[in-house]
Structure 1
Amino acid sequence: MKKAVVMSLAAAVLLGTSAFAIDNVKVSGDAKLYYYTDDKNPSDLFSQASSSADTALRLGVTGDLAKHFSFGITGYAISTLGLENNLVSNTWSSAHTATNPGAGNDVSDEAWIGELWIAATYGNTTFKAGRMLLDSPLSFSETWSVAPNSYEAFVLINQDIPDTTLVAVYAGHSNGVNAVGYTDGPGGAADNTSGLGLDGIVGAGGKFGTHGAQGANVAGIINNSYKPLTAQAWYYNVVDAADAFWLQGDVNCELLKGLKLGAQYTEISPKGEYEGVHDSKGYAFKVGYEGIENLKVSAAYSDVDKDSVFKVANLATNNTVASQSKLYTEAFWNYGYVGAPNAQTVNVSAEYNMDIAKFGAYYTNVNNGFVDTLATPRVGVDMQEIALSASKSFGALDTTLAYVSTDADDQNNGSQSNSIQVYLTLNF
């Protein structure tokens, strides 16, 4: 176990700021401990074979270099702290690798710089370059696990037009697992491969590789001229892999206070190495109500066409397996089903914030059928998930306890299984 890596990471981030005369320096971060266990055959809940755990440290520094210029640097370090030798047999982060796979379960500690950027702001325009987290409907940093994927990119944001934000991005590299754009065609080896872990987000060792085949270009517009409506449109050019667009509108209904409506439509058109493959098309609708204090309820439906190779999900992580989707119907835990070809999904959720804790209940049902892929035809995968969660903050410590019931054709020999998850985050 390379414990010195964690210490050197923190020292590098802090010492990097002391060498310059900079203003408005802010230091922030968090320490996480995540635990997961399930009762999939032949294991039981809390057994070592069915459990995963990870710790992560995030340390970030931002500041002003000069008038109009700012910077940011964030380091990430992950470690099992040796838990894989007694309490668990897997990790959360896929950035881990096995240090001695032939003689036990020893797992590497890993550390990397996930953000290292400089930004220039003049008037209503900001230009940002370097390593950073990004958030857009089809290419984004997944933040649900212990450590997110990030990008090496150029970003231009302009807000000169009233109530309108224009975004332009070129992302040349990323450290997401199996980002779209394979080196030898569909189904071939990807630039960034997964190590251990159950999340499939960050590539082994946190290593950065080409995003797509030759990078990706993204353009977006977000408009709120009509105050109840937030409309957005995005275009993606993943070079030599796919063109895509995403349209979305979310409305706060004026006729009934607390009523919220949303609609999404997307299309991913393969090209280059994927030329001749059918487009991936999908749409979703959502109805939500927040008219009762501390209560949020919603219902959503989505439909993805069957003739496709890419899932309607993140193009920057493990798209062909289990990357997260921005569709309204995305599940609480089981990613990779909602955006799959020929998936029709219903999602119902409710959240209630009480003094004792914030409680959540989520139901996702994915119906799938016959799917025609690039290879041989296969049977689609049905999935049903019920998730219950309770979250509570104790000062700087955020805690969440979750229970998930999963019944999926491709899990546990098609039988229902249960999982329990614990999330602990200490903010500083």
Structure 2
Amino acid sequence: MKFTKLSLIAALAISSAFAGGDIEPVEPAVEAPAATEACNANTTISGKATAYYYTFEDGTDLFDKATSNLGTAVTLDVAHKITDNVTANFTAVGFTNVLDNNADVFEGTETGAYLNVANITATYGDTTFILGRQLLSTPMLSGFDWLLAPGSFEAYTIANTSISNVTLVGSYIRQYRANNGGTDFMDLDGDNWAVGAAYSDAFDASLWYYNVDHAGYTEIYADAGVELSGINLAAQIASTDWDLADDSMLYGIKASGSVAGFDLMAAYVHVEDSGAGYVDNDAAYTSMWNNLGSDEVGDAFKVEAATEFNGLAVSAAYANYSNDIAPDGEEFDLILGYGFTDCISLDVIYTYTDAAITLYTESNALEVIATYKF
């Protein structure tokens, strides 16, 4: 089953700056306590503990042991400032599966650990370099954030903001750890890279080019958005040139705004001939919790409403897919989130899916996520 987060944003930012390991200080000749205090001040540590319960129907009851799982994980983020402009970043993830059943265990193994982020980030003037394992967040190549930890990449990234209101980004990717893909990073065949530019002032726009030899395609992606009289209007287009399949064209439009305390959104996406290219996650306006809009060849419509009531965040979305190469489908998502404190939160996601792309027709699923941040 391929899953994705709701309300995907075509963000430009590259890596989460988390991190980094212990560096043994040089023993000073004098003022040892002060030196130690200064070194400690250059290191920041944070993290979270997560319990994730997931169950779905597959010819069984919703809470049947064979289709349920409970995973727990601890994520530790460490950042160590080496110099004023150079930082070492690390994110360590340790996990274990709690239930003993026949369902696929999270990350493909009962217990494990890995470094999801391990990089050096250096900033010189308007230019930033990120070298090593990192989180990428571009429209059609992005770390898929679901279950215990987001997908991650070993890459070399450069970003520049010398031009007013413009950010330029380039990233060359060597390895990839897919979301829920286990503890190892996979070597990628050929050359895999992305370059992009984003503008934000009177309106927002971005343009991206992807070369993904590992999956056999190149792609041009563009989007633009503007606010008019309190209504946000946006459009997107993606042209994918596949080596071994028919070329794809994706067109999307979206309108969103707020009325009487409700955030409302409506979107339409049309995909021609083949699915659009993406790595781990996409930015199609009709993507839902269980279905990525880039996979749905044909017409897709989506509506969404969100609000907050006494601290309870509520989001409901519905999408309908009229497919050209697969049976038609639909999906309904209800997402609830409540923060008991600044550090403790609970999220509940109910989904109903009837779409061939998930391989499970007319399936209900329930996910419960408890998080403690420290």
TM > 0.5 fold call: yes
Q: The residue matched to 1:19 in structure 2 has which SS?
A: coil
Q: The residue matched to 1:339 in structure 2 has which SS?
A: helix
Unaligned 5+ residue runs, structure 2? 1-17, 26-38
Query: In the alignment, which residue of structure 2 is the partner of 1:102?
Result: none
Query: In the alignment, which residue of structure 2 is the partner of 1:162?
Result: 164
Q: The residue matched to 1:303 in structure 2 has which SS?
A: strand
**2:196 matches 1:224:** no
What is the CA distance between 1:411 and its match in structure 2? 6.5
Query: In the alignment, which residue of structure 2 is the partner of 1:303?
Result: 270
Q: Which of residues 86, 90, 110 in structure 1 aligns to 2:103?
A: 90
Alignment partners' CA distance in 1, 2:180 and 2:359: 25
Query: In the alignment, which residue of structure 1 is the partner of 2:218?
Result: 243
What is the CA distance between 1:217 and its match in structure 2? 1.5
Q: Relative to structure 1, is the Cα distance of residues 22 and 216 closer, same or farther in structure 2, using a 3 angstrom cutoff?
A: farther
Q: Which of residues 223, 231, 249 in structure 2 aligns to 1:281?
A: 249
User: Runs ≥4 in structure 1, deviation > 6 angstroms?
Assistant: 410-413
Query: In the alignment, which residue of structure 1 is the partner of 2:339?
Result: 393
Q: Relative to structure 1, is the Cα distance of residues 127 and 410 closer, same or farther in structure 2, using a 3 angstrom cutoff?
A: closer
- The one-letter amino acid of 1:394's match is F
Q: Relative to structure 1, is the Cα distance of residues 15 and 235 closer, same or farther in structure 2, using a 3 angstrom cutoff?
A: closer
Q: Relative to structure 1, is the Cα distance of residues 382 and 65 closer, same or farther in structure 2, using a 3 angstrom cutoff?
A: same
Q: Percent identity?
A: 27
Q: Relative to structure 1, is the Cα distance of residues 233 and 270 closer, same or farther in structure 2, using a 3 angstrom cutoff?
A: same
Q: Any idea what the Cα deviations from partners look like across 1:346-374, whole Å, max 9, x if unmatched?
A: 110000111140111110111112x3xxx
Q: Relative to structure 1, is the Cα distance of residues 39 and 239 closer, same or farther in structure 2, using a 3 angstrom cutoff?
A: closer
Under a length normalisation based on structure 2, what TM-score does the superposition of the two structures give? 0.85
8 Å Cα contact 1:56/1:146 also seen in 2:
yes
What is the CA distance between 1:409 and its match in structure 2? 4.2
**2:190 matches 1:209:** no
What is the CA distance between 1:215 and its match in structure 2? 3.5
8 Å Cα contact 1:173/1:215 also seen in 2:
no
**2:285 matches 1:328:** yes
- The one-letter amino acid of 2:298's match is A
**2:309 matches 1:354:** yes
Alignment partners' CA distance in 2, 1:60 and 1:297: 34
Alignment partners' CA distance in 2, 1:329 and 1:26: 38
Q: Any idea what the Cα deviations from partners look like across 1:173-209, whole Å, max 9, x if unmatched?
A: 1112xxxxxxxxxxxxxxxxxxxxxxxx243x32112
Q: Relative to structure 1, is the Cα distance of residues 412 and 125 closer, same or farther in structure 2, using a 3 angstrom cutoff?
A: closer
**2:176 matches 1:174:** yes
Q: The residue matched to 1:140 in structure 2 has which SS?
A: coil
Query: In the alignment, which residue of structure 1 is the partner of 2:92?
Result: 75
**2:48 matches 1:30:** yes
Q: Relative to structure 1, is the Cα distance of residues 210 and 413 closer, same or farther in structure 2, using a 3 angstrom cutoff?
A: closer
Query: In the alignment, which residue of structure 1 is the partner of 2:33?
Result: none
Q: Relative to structure 1, is the Cα distance of residues 234 and 399 closer, same or farther in structure 2, using a 3 angstrom cutoff?
A: same
8 Å Cα contact 2:353/2:360 also seen in 1:
no
Q: Relative to structure 1, is the Cα distance of residues 392 and 45 closer, same or farther in structure 2, using a 3 angstrom cutoff?
A: same
After superposition, the CA RMSD in angstroms is: 2.2
Q: Which of residues 81, 102, 108 in structure 2 aligns to 1:64?
A: 81
Unaligned 5+ residue runs, structure 1? 1-12, 98-107, 177-200, 318-323, 372-379
Alignment partners' CA distance in 2, 1:202 and 1:28: 22
Q: Any idea what the Cα deviations from partners look like across 1:367-416, whole Å, max 9, x if unmatched?
A: 112x3xxxxxxxx13221112222100111121112222223467874x3
Alignment partners' CA distance in 2, 1:412 and 1:214: 31
What is the CA distance between 1:65 and its match in structure 2? 0.2
8 Å Cα contact 1:289/1:297 also seen in 2:
yes
Alignment partners' CA distance in 2, 1:367 and 1:29: 42
8 Å Cα contact 2:206/2:223 also seen in 1:
yes
Alignment partners' CA distance in 2, 1:409 and 1:242: 24
What is the CA distance between 1:78 and its match in structure 2? 1.9
**2:234 matches 1:234:** no
8 Å Cα contact 1:80/1:91 also seen in 2:
no
Q: The residue matched to 1:165 in structure 2 has which SS?
A: strand
Alignment partners' CA distance in 2, 1:265 and 1:175: 27
- The one-letter amino acid of 2:199's match is N
Q: Relative to structure 1, is the Cα distance of residues 54 and 280 closer, same or farther in structure 2, using a 3 angstrom cutoff?
A: same
Alignment partners' CA distance in 1, 2:173 and 2:234: 28
Q: Any idea what the Cα deviations from partners look like across 1:13-52, whole Å, max 9, x if unmatched?
A: 99931524465311111111111223331x1121202212
8 Å Cα contact 1:302/1:328 also seen in 2:
yes
8 Å Cα contact 2:271/2:297 also seen in 1:
yes
Q: The residue matched to 2:21 in structure 1 has which SS?
A: helix
Query: In the alignment, which residue of structure 2 is the partner of 1:19?
Result: 24
- The one-letter amino acid of 1:16's match is G
Q: The residue matched to 1:72 in structure 2 has which SS?
A: strand
Query: In the alignment, which residue of structure 1 is the partner of 2:240?
Result: 268
Query: In the alignment, which residue of structure 1 is the partner of 2:349?
Result: 402
8 Å Cα contact 2:19/2:44 also seen in 1:
no
Alignment partners' CA distance in 2, 1:269 and 1:242: 5
Q: How many residues align?
A: 342
Alignment partners' CA distance in 2, 1:426 and 1:314: 32
Q: Which has the higher strand share?
A: 2
Q: The residue matched to 1:290 in structure 2 has which SS?
A: strand
Under a length normalisation based on structure 1, what TM-score does the superposition of the two structures give? 0.75
Q: Any idea what the Cα deviations from partners look like across 1:117-175, whole Å, max 9, x if unmatched?
A: 11111111111101111000111101122111111111111001001100011111111
Q: Relative to structure 1, is the Cα distance of residues 401 and 61 closer, same or farther in structure 2, using a 3 angstrom cutoff?
A: same
